[in-house]
């Protein structure tokens, strides 16, 4: 089965548009875990790790986004994204996990990155973050404060003069907040300059 691929690089404006789309990663017809298992070994061997995999849109708007970062914590560049785009495209062409045509998009997480995995909450302890939880706690689902890491399965966040603890599986969304502390952090975490948009490489894959 062949495919036609077109590679182009876009800037940071994409991030705002993507955030407004409905996230279809939980669709029963699409298994994100299968995609991750297919591409993770080759990405790790090349020195990258997966931040997040999402599948958004339908029909001609369908997009598979692979958000990735470097294992050495050096800032991702457009060249990194382009290299990964070709690598991941080749792997998916062989595995063919998605029958329909879609856009393959490789991007870096940017400075105010999402917090997805357990290690994200550990690694970025001490920085300001926004969290959203499934069940309301004292009448609210959204919180903003200083991330205090994770203890067992509980994410700790210092906010409004108190320390809140949320079960990790109750956190539906979490991301860092762009602050002076985060910008000045230097190598921890590694991040692009504040005025540099997240790098993105997009590859259109048409199944025939």
Tell me the percentage of the chain whose pLDDT exceeds 90.
56
Other residues' Cβ atoms within 10 Å of the Cβ of residue 82:
19
Mean pLDDT of the chain: 79
Going from the C-alpha of 24 to that of each of 54, 62, 85, 121, 126, the distances in angstroms are: 7, 10, 21, 24, 31
pLDDT per residue over 92-109, tens digit each?
A: 999 988 888 889 999 998
Higher pLDDT, 3 or 134: 134
pLDDT recorded at residue 28: 38
The residue-averaged pLDDT of 64-69 equals 94
Higher pLDDT, 114 or 197: 114
Give residue 60's pLDDT band: very low, low, confident or very high (50, 70, 90): confident
3-110+192-207 and 118-183 share one fold:
no
Q: Domain 3-110+192-207 is classified in which CATH homologous superfamily?
A: RimP-like superfamily, N-terminal (3.30.300.70)
Q: Is the pLDDT of residue 207 over 60?
A: no
Give SS3 for 38.
Answer: helix
Exposed, middle or buried by CB within 10 Å (0-12, 13-18, 19+), for 161? exposed
The residue-averaged pLDDT of 25-44 equals 79
pLDDT recorded at residue 32: 86
CA separation for the pair 202, 121 (Å, rounded): 28
Give residue 56's pLDDT band: very low, low, confident or very high (50, 70, 90): confident
Picking from 123, 136, 104, the residue whose alpha carbon sits closest to that of residue 3 is: 104
| CA dihedral sign of residues 196, 198, 201, 202 | negative
pLDDT per residue over 146-199, tens digit each?
A: 999 999 899 999 999 999 999 999 999 999 999 998 888 853 554 434 444 455
Q: Which two tokens stand for residue 112?
A: 């105010």
pLDDT recorded at residue 99: 82
22: phi then psi, degrees, rounded to nearest 5: -70, 130
All structural domains of the chain with their residue ranges: 3-110+192-207, 118-183
The residue-averaged pLDDT of 26-33 equals 61
Q: Is the pLDDT of residue 27 over 70?
A: no
pLDDT recorded at residue 183: 86
Q: Any idea which architecture 118-183 has in CATH?
A: Roll (2.30)
The residue-averaged pLDDT of 21-26 equals 38
- Cα 179 from chain centroid (whole Å): 19
């Amino acid at each position: 089965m062949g495919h036609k691929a077109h590679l182009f690089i876009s800037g940071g404006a994409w991030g705002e548009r993507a955030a407004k789309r409905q996230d279809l990663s939980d669709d029963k017809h699409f298994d994100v875990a299968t995609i991750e298992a297919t591409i993770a070994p080759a990405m790790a061997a090349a020195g990258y790790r997966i931040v997040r995999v999402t599948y958004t849109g339908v029909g001609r708007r369908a997009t598979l986004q692979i958000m990735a970062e470097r294992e050495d914590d050096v800032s991702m560049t457009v060249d990194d994204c382009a290299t990964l785009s070709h690598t991941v495209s080749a792997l998916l062409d062989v595995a063919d996990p998605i029958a329909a045509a879609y856009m393959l998009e490789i991007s870096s997480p940017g400075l105010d990155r999402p917090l997805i995995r357990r290690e994200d909450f550990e690694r970025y302890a001490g920085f300001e973050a926004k969290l959203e939880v499934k069940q309301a706690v004292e009448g609210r689902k959204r919180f903003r404060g200083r991330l205090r890491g994770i203890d067992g399965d509980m994410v700790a966040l210092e906010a409004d003069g108190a320390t809140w603890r949320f079960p990790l599986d109750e956190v539906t969304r979490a991301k860092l907040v762009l602050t002076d502390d985060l910008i000045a952090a230097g190598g921890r975490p590694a991040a692009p300059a504040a005025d540099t948009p997240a790098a993105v490489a997009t590859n259109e894959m048409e199944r025939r």
